[in-house]
Structure 1
Amino acid sequence: MEIPTSYKLCAATAALAVGCTVSYIAYKRRRRVRNASDLFNYLNVNIVTTEESCDFVVTELRRRCQKHRAMGFDCEWVTNNGKRQPVALVQLSSLDGYCGLFRLNTMKTVHKSLRELLEDESIYKVGVAPKDDGKYLHHDYSVELRSTLDIRHLAEACGFEGGGLGTLSSVLLRTVLDKSWRIRCSDWEAEELSERQKQYAAIDAHVAIKIFALLLERIDKEKSNSWALSYNSSSVWTRSYDYCSKYADVGYKTKHTIKLKDHAKEKDSKIKEPTKRYKLTKRTRPLYNNGYLEAPDGELLCICDNRKGMWFVNKGLADLIKEDPLTVRLKFEPAGRAVGDVGRYYQLEKENKCVVCASTNSCIRKNVVPREYRKLFPEIMKEHSSHDVVLLCADCHQLSNMRDQNMRVFLAEQCNAPLPSDSRFRFIEDMAAKKVRSAARALYNANDKLPEVRRKELEDILLQHYPDHDEVTMELLKKACNIPVVTENTDYESHGLKVVDYYFKRHGLLKLEQEWREHFLKNMKPKYMPALWSVKHNEERLRVKWDEGA
């Protein structure tokens, strides 16, 4: 019996509907956003609290990263009353899921193996805003984090919006991260981390390296025109430095502020930002060259730096007697000669090693009397300040800085000189002016690309700020692009200034200087201080000058 055509049509329609449904379900399954804890249940998480475990985990991370030369990186810390505490946790992850959670708050210091890994320029530390985390590590532990790479650079190169780690994970890995404020703002200094904290910290670092690998694969395919490569292929990683070197240690937002600098070259319109703090850097050459500076009759005046000695020679003020060791003889009579132990101190050769542990590796200058106080001393007390500059290895320098904070707190209480806090910044950011400047820069850089509605909104912001103008002109734009957004806080009180003023009026500045020296000796117990180094050095030096009638 022949089947009616209408039945055939119904059957075909039903089959088509079933096929579409199956295909749609399969598509949804492929595109389904998964939970990170389920997807990354293979992670090997290692909690590091001792030097031994630190060395073991770092060695394993290095072994697993030999091929890829990159690892996921992130940091966590605690914020109390709006004030950031020192970094409590550093998270590192290899591409295959080996994670190290380094609890710095428990270890109290960054052990040598971890420091060397973080400072290794041959291994990328990838994540979202890793350079900012590096600044905190430098501030808290004097660690020079090198070869950071913000994965948002690669995301943008592949045509994706930047966004945060959660957004990138959702778009690229189809994975939802746990970004609840309860876990993000939890107690990372707790005696024991919870399982949720461990999972959150490890996944954040691992997701970063996974996204990095995925984006690197895309870039490599586009450049090589080969769609058969995977991010485990050797060709991707051998060319990774070609793709990433231009982004190394570059903040993601940095390049977005360059355009205006290229256009606005008028020197008078530049904005003066707050002065940056001096950066602690490891020495690449010896601090002490131990050259000899002599009086005209050949008497030794002092041991000096080679550059200082050659300065006299190049100026025609001295003769070069010998090159090794450098010996320079002045052609004029100096203002004074070496007298007593004070004078003999400057005639002694100094060793290029840590004065606490005698290490000769990567030593850093340490100001025994912190610069925030000494810079406010009278000129006569700032002369010959090399007496209070000693060398410390990175670990001892970090420990000394931490212990200095106790002394600063003591001085703050004694002198009624509050330490800087979030509510007492020396500079204040004017948010209204910042909004005006932002609008002006958007119009200046992308006026022809902005939608009409958005362009009108930005122009209204400018005209409200400049009521004397009826329209937005190029001259007005240039003016608004450079409007000051930072002003000095007139209520700000310098901690250092109040301390120096207190001692000047009550005890004398020599007393403040001596207390810092005693603090250093008591807390660091240095065994290798230069001979004749004295707590009362300046007092003795000034007495000599007084006796000489200077």
Structure 2
Amino acid sequence: MEFPSSYKLCAATAALAVGCTFSYIAYKRRGRVRNANDVFNYLTVEIVTTEESCDSVVAELKRRCQKHHALGFDCEWVTNNGKRQPVALVQLSSFDGYCGLFRLNTLKAVPLSLKELLEDESIYKVGVGPKDDSKYLHNDYSVELRSSLDIRHLAEYCGYEPGGLATLSSVLLRAALDKSWRVRCSDWEAEELSERQKKYAAIDAHVAIKLFALLLEKVEETYSNYWELDYNPATVWTRLYDYCSKYADVGYKTKHTIKLKDHAKEKDPKIKEPTKRYKLTKRTRPLYNNGYLQAPDGELLCICDNRKGMWFVNKGLADLIKEDPLTVRLKFEPAGRAVGDVGRYYQLEKENKCVVCASTNHCIRKNVVPREYRKLFPEIMKEHSSHDVVLLCAECHQMSNIRDQHMRVSLAEKCNAPLPSSSKDRFIEDMAAKKVRSAARALYHANDKLPEDRRKQLEDILLQHYPDQEEVTLELLKEACNITVVRENTDYESHGIKVVDYYFKRASILKLEQEWREHFLKNMKPKYMPALWSVKHNEERLRVKWDEGRLTREDMRSIGLTTF
């Protein structure tokens, strides 16, 4: 049966309208913020009130977090007359929705299985403000919560305003949490928890692990885009330590600087600086030329850079023996010759490849002992510092820098040496000078527009600062417009100075150097380090100099030692 063309047109229009309607409804549903109880209606919630049930739930949580190595974490307690009572409830949730609510007020103590889980450094306990909860657990039950991670660190890294759990859930998961004071401030020590309390507690912990996973995938996407790699969300869990170790057990200080956005910033401020640095330091020519520097009798002293070898020749201090490979023979007896493994290390040729993965593509120099510490070492420890310069490809270099932050945080705590973000300002604003400069600029740029009273007031400010002047002149204004308004804080002590001083007084600076080397080996697991590379290289080198009488007691004291 043949339908009229006008009928076909109407039918097609109707079908298109229906399709558009359904698409619009689906779109609205996707963007709509839904009640968290509906979004997370799949949760399995276990209430733990006995040691036996605790062991069972802990074992199940450990089994379920083998992929993510993280659990959502939160705590609840009761406050009476403004005084906090001991933590009554600990909430832990796996990514797939298995939640354990551990009622510590009923258990009276933290069972061993739960204590071991909370203190397990290999499993991150993620949430908002877990650092505060860890203090309460320590004070109330002597539990040392380890590997806690505030997800606001990751939110900020991804370009989101690091708001509270409810705000992040609403924006990123499109799920509205129940944050009514009636449940938040309810009786968590009640004989039986209400259904609303159970849902509230379980969802809070579960939302934390869901946000953690989502944010980490965004971090991985940013990382892949930057290094032009194929993005695969699953690979983030193989880099978990790389991304999270620097934030472990580090509290977050809320910053109100930007509004929360539904998407990441176009430029991530946290990777902007490293991005520029890597582009500037990628090597376009080999680091190691492997030239030969000989003693006057022809004995090999060391492998050296071609430019260094030619420097001796151009200064008339050496003869050019051979151009390829460059071989230079000194005309004078050097202070020392190659002795033992320490000396043989400098006689070995070095390869121009990443010491971790063997990549030869645009490798970057890596200071195993960061310069912020090395630059403060005594001169005798700065000699032959090439031992701590290795090559890493761009990817390994970034990973190493991320892992170094964890070491810096540990040193900050150990040595009472706050990192720059939390230490006293190196420079202080001089508010009096700032007031003078502000007054001068106002008079200079808008003198004719200012009311007479205001102009007189600003002139008085200037004349008080310049008591030798009888009136405000144009020259005075120009000078005052450019006065310095910041001054160096004489009480400021850098993180590096305090760390080096700590080791100088309590062990030796050699110990600090060795700890950084051990950190590099442990965390990067390099498979292609130069032969004879040693954690104790400097100690062995200085021992040789001491045995040869080329090291004084003053030199020894400068590194914090009296003898070997």
TM-score (norm 2): 0.50
Equivalent residue for 1:89?
Answer: 158
Deviation at residue 359 of structure 1 after TM alignment: 1.7
Change (3 A) 1:464 1:361: same
Tell me the distance in 1 between the aligned counterparts of 2:455 and 2:546: 67
| Aligned: 1:452 with 2:449 | yes
- Structure 1 segment 348-387 matched on structure 2, within 5 A: 348-387=348-387
8 A Cα contact 1:417 1:499, kept in partner: yes
C-alpha displacement at 1:459, in angstroms? 8.0
Distance 2:455 2:290 in 1: 63
Counterpart-to-counterpart distance in 1, 2:219 and 2:350: 30
Q: Which residue of structure 2 lines up, in the alignment, with residue 122 of structure 1?
A: none
1:320 and 2:317 are equivalent in the alignment: no
Whether the 8 Å contact between 2:447 and 2:455 is mirrored in structure 1 is no
Runs (4 or more) in structure 1 with deviation over 6 Å come to 78-81, 277-280
Question: Quick one: which amino acid aligns to residue 545 of structure 2?
Answer: K
Partner residue, 1:539: 539
- Unaligned ranges ≥5, structure 2: 1-23, 32-127, 133-151, 161-213, 230-245, 247-254, 551-564
The more displaced of 426-435 and 345-354 is 426-435
**RMSD across aligned positions (CA):** 4.1
5 Å-filtered alignment, 1:456-467, equals: 460-461=457-458, 463-467=460-464
Answer yes or no: is 1:527 the counterpart of 2:524: no
Q: How far does the alpha carbon of each residue in 1:299-324 deviate from its partner, in whole angstroms, 9 at most, with x for none?
A: 21111112211211221112222222
Q: Show the counterpart of 2:475.
A: 475
Distance (whole Å) between structure 2 residues aligned to residue 454 and residue 303 of structure 1 = 75
Task: Kindly provide the CA deviation profile for residues 115-145 of structure 1, in whole angstroms up to 9, marking residues without a partner as x.
Answer: 2579xxxxxxxxxxxxxxxxxxxxx9xxxxx
Q: Do 1:503 and 1:511's aligned partners in 2 also have CA atoms closer than 8 Å?
A: yes
What amino acid is the match of 2:463? Y
After superposition, give the CA deviation of every residue in 1:267-304 in whole Å (9 maximum; x if it has no partner): xxxxxxxxxx9997322332222222111222211111
- Find the aligned partners of 2:421 and 2:500 in 1 and give their Cα distance: 19
| Residues 443, 458 of structure 2: 8 Å contact kept | no
Distance 1:107 1:346, change over 3 A: farther
Q: CA deviation at 1:330?
A: 1.4
Q: C-alpha separation between the residues in 2 aligned to 1:458 and 1:116?
A: 57
| Contact map agreement 1:368 1:517 (CA 8 A) in 2 | yes
Q: CA deviation at 1:549?
A: 1.2
2:225 paired residue among 114, 117, 121: 114
Contact 1:303 1:346 in 2 (8 A): yes
Q: Could you say what secondary structure the match of 1:301 adopts?
A: strand
Gaps of 5+ in 1: 1-37, 46-77, 92-102, 119-139, 141-180, 187-196, 207-248, 250-276
Over 3 Å counting, the alpha-carbon distance change for 1:540 and 1:280 in structure 2 is farther
Does the CA-based 8 Å contact 2:462-2:472 persist in structure 1? no
Does the Cα contact within 8 Å between 1:109 and 1:395 map onto a contact in 2? no
Quote the Cα distance in structure 2 between the aligned partners of 1:361 and 1:458. 64
Residues 1:401 and 2:401 are matched in the alignment: yes
1:488 maps to amino acid:
E
| 1:487 corresponding residue in structure 2 | 487
Q: Is the 8 A contact 2:376 2:500 kept in 1?
A: yes
Structure 1 residues 111 and 323: alpha-carbon distance in aligned structure 2, compared to 1, 3 A threshold:
farther
User: What code does the residue aligned with 1:526 have?
Assistant: P
Q: Give the distance between the partners of 1:365 and 1:456, measured in 2 at CA.
A: 62
- Which residue is 1:292 aligned to? 292
CA gap of 1:483–1:325, structure 2 versus 1, over 3 A, is: same
In structure 2, distance between residues paired with 1:454 and 1:397: 60
The letter for the 2-side match of 1:336 is G
Deviation (angstroms), 1:354: 1.4
Alignment partners' CA distance in 1, 2:266 and 2:330: 60
Equivalent position SS for 1:421? helix
| Separation of aligned partners in 1, 2:369 and 2:529 | 15
Q: 8 Å contact 1:463–1:472 — kept in the other structure?
A: no
Would you say the 8 A contact 2:439–2:461 is kept in 1?
no
Letter in 2 for 1:466: L
| Equivalent residue, structure 2, for 1:67 | none
CA deviation vs aligned residue, 1:456-496 (integer Å, no higher than 9, x gap): 96785464043223433233234223312221223323222
Partners of 2:353 and 2:484 lie apart in 1 by 46
Looking at structure 1, the residues matched to 158 and 477 of structure 2 have their Cα atoms a distance apart, in angstroms, of 45
Of stretches 371-380 and 421-430 in structure 1, the one that deviates more from structure 2 is 421-430
Corresponding letter in the other structure for 1:453: L
Q: Distance in 1 between matches of 2:479 and 2:290?
A: 54
Letter of the structure 1 residue corresponding to residue 408 of structure 2: R
Output one character per residue of 1:155-208: Cα deviation in whole Å (capped at 9) or x when no partner.
xxxxxxxxxxxxxxxxxxxxxxxxxx999444xxxxxxxxxx43xx37x759xx
Report how many aligned residue pairs link the two structures.
320
In structure 2, distance between residues paired with 1:297 and 1:183: 67
Q: Name the SS for the 2:293 alignment partner.
A: strand
Q: CA separation of 1:525/1:107 partners in 2, compared to 1, >3 Å: closer, same or farther?
A: farther
8 Å contact from structure 1 (residues 353, 391) kept in 2: yes
Q: What is residue 514 of structure 2 aligned with on the other side?
A: 514
Over 3 Å counting, the alpha-carbon distance change for 1:458 and 1:530 in structure 2 is farther
Letter in 1 for 2:379: E
Q: What fraction of aligned residue pairs are identical, expressed as a percent?
A: 74
- Write the letter of the residue equivalent to 2:411: L
C-alpha distance after superposition, 1:4-28 (max 9, x if no partner): xxxxxxxxxxxxxxxxxxxxxxxxx
Residues 335/398 of structure 1: CA separation in 2 closer, same or farther (3 Å cut): same
Q: Aligned letter for 1:493?
A: E
Deviation at 1:504, TM superposition (A): 1.4
- C-alpha distance in 2 between matches for 1:354 and 1:389: 12
Residue 389 of structure 1 corresponds to 389
Secondary structure of 2:316's partner?
Answer: coil
Provide the C-alpha distance between the structure 1 equivalents of 2:278 and 2:457, rounded to a whole number of angstroms: 41
Q: TM-score when scaled to structure 1?
A: 0.51
Q: Determine the C-alpha separation between the residues in 1 that align with 2:440 and 2:549.
A: 63
